[in-house]
Amino acid sequence: MSSALLRIFFKLFRGSEKIAAARSFIETYPIDEITQKARKGKEAVFPFSEKEEFGKALLGAPIFEQAPLRYDTLSKILLVPPLFTPLRLKKMQEILREPVFTDVDTSVDVGGFSSSMPVCIASMGSTDVFNKVSLQVARAAAEAGIPMGVGENVATVWGYAQRRRESQPCFKERVMTYLQHAEEGRGGVFIQQSVEDAYDELWNKVYSDPDITPYIEKGRVAFEIKLGQGAKPGIGGETFVSRDIALKIRDKYHFDDDPATVVKEVYSRHSAPGTFTADILRSMLRLMKNNYPRCRIWVKAGPYRDVEEVAQIVYEQEAEAMWIDGKEGGTGMSPVIALKDLGLPTLACLQKIKRMRERGLQLDLIVSGRIIDGGDVVKSLCMGASAAGMGRPIVVAAYAAGEEGVKRFLEALKMEMQLLISALGKYSIKELGDEDLRATTPELARSLGIKSVYD
């Protein structure tokens, strides 16, 4: 805030209390946000100071906030161990010694894949910020034995089997790097297809690719239907494109300005979010099962209010897994107002997962959105999630120390989980439950259906 503006506000108030109130107002009022909109208009709707930042920044809901969030996060839940631990005694009788945290078995089966721990790498797409380190992440995830996603638009932007730019891996490199480094029988890759990818028949190419076919036959490949994402549920793809690209795709997308008649350096490209009903979703899943019988079928959904109904349909159509992305999830480009006001937080998604489990739903459910460390993963498992998804932490680790950085991050993540689970007196993922959780407030405890720290 400029000193001139401070003086203007202080003149409006007399007395120390009013000056304090003025200072508080100045510190909390969104002056920068309003100024940005005044200067840049519609461009300020997206979270970039400059459009050149697109694809080069980690976006989505901030991992840490200066001001308190308006909703509760996983930090409002604690893992609370008991003194009496009969399962520890059982483990001691099994291994004939006092168990330690390294005796915790973190392996799980999720979405038709065997995984060394209940963690999956999110289906990150074609943005520069991830694609440049995608092969390092693929090797690290494969060697760690955890499933990894390949997001939409990678083949369309960077090519299917050959690089379109020397510095950027193509789609098949990402897939094959993972599959060739994965331990036999462990892990798997799940692949998204966007509307643009569908024009090039991406899934058909993958399904008939002679290099990938052996892995499909071994059950190591899934196709992931994308119904939305956490940072912008109900909103279609948003991106900036150059004029030459805009002219090529102007008949497939909506542009605020027609590139054929309005000459600009870049254009804002909008795509439809997709239209769904229960019957449309059922038909889509049946078609996928029929067309690709040798592939696993995954579904990714945003934090929708009817996500429980969606999950029931996914289960009835016998898909292998459903990924639920909380509003804290990241994205390549999402309107600022969506990050602020749209969708359910991850903790609310977990409350719905817990409710689904209480109804007996046996579908593998993966949760993501602000999952940062082993504590977040274990809390999610206690609420009923089958696994937790991670995106931005993996990208940060890759840029910090490359492939070895991702490996070390995953090793630390596993150790954190083992320490916490053993502290609870348990030694496998299946033994975790909501009895291990306590909410920090009675109100939150009632909302989540768990005990509070005061019970």
Provide the sign of the torsion angle of the four alpha carbons 212, 216, 220, 226, taken in this order. Answer: positive
* More reliable by pLDDT, 269 or 424: 424
- CB count within 10 Å of CB 180 equals 12
Q: How far apart are the first and last CA of the chain?
A: 46
pLDDT value at residue 314 = 98
- Could you count the other beta carbons within 10 Å of the beta carbon of residue 58? 18
| Strand pairing category for 189-192 and 148-150 | parallel
Q: What is the mean pLDDT of the chain?
A: 87
**Residue 67 pLDDT level (bands cut at 50, 70, 90):** very low
Residue 38 is predicted with a pLDDT of: 47
- CB-neighbour burial class of residue 132 (10 A; exposed 0-12, middle 13-18, buried 19+): middle
If residue 94 lies in a helix (H) or strand (E), which one and from where to where?
helix 86-95
Structure tokens belonging to residue 234? 């109900």
Using alpha carbons only, what angle is made at residue 126 by residues 120 and 131, rounded to the nearest 5 degrees? 70
In the chain, what are the domains? 3-45 (no CATH), 74-237+273-448 (3.20.20.70)
Q: What is the pTM of this model?
A: 0.86
Q: Would the pLDDT of 25 be above 60? A: no
The Cα–Cα gap between 249 and 194 comes to 14
Listed range (134-143, 396-405, 437-446) with the worst mean pLDDT: 396-405
Query: In which band, very low, low, confident or very high, does the pLDDT at 244 lie, cut at 50, 70 and 90?
Result: confident
Q: How far apart are CA 315 and CA 307, in angstroms?
A: 12
Q: What is the pLDDT of residues 323-369, one digit of tens each?
A: 999 999 876 677 878 888 899 999 999 999 999 999 999 999 999 99
At CA 323, angle to CA 320 and CA 328, rounded to 5?
175
Q: Where are the alpha helices (DSSP H) in 329-369?
A: 336-341, 346-358
Residue reference for tokens 């439950």: 433
> For residue 279, what are its two tokens?
């019957």
For the chain, what percentages of helix, strand and coil (3-state, to nearest 5) are there?
45, 15, 40
SS3 state at 114: strand
What percentage of the chain exceeds 90 in pLDDT?
63
- Of 392 and 146, the one with more pLDDT: 146
Please state, in angstroms and rounded to a whole number, the distance separating the CA atoms of residues 384 and 403: 31
Closest by Cα among 214, 211, 204, 223 to 151? 223
State residue 41's pLDDT score: 57
Lowest mean pLDDT among 58-72, 76-90, 171-185, 292-306: 58-72
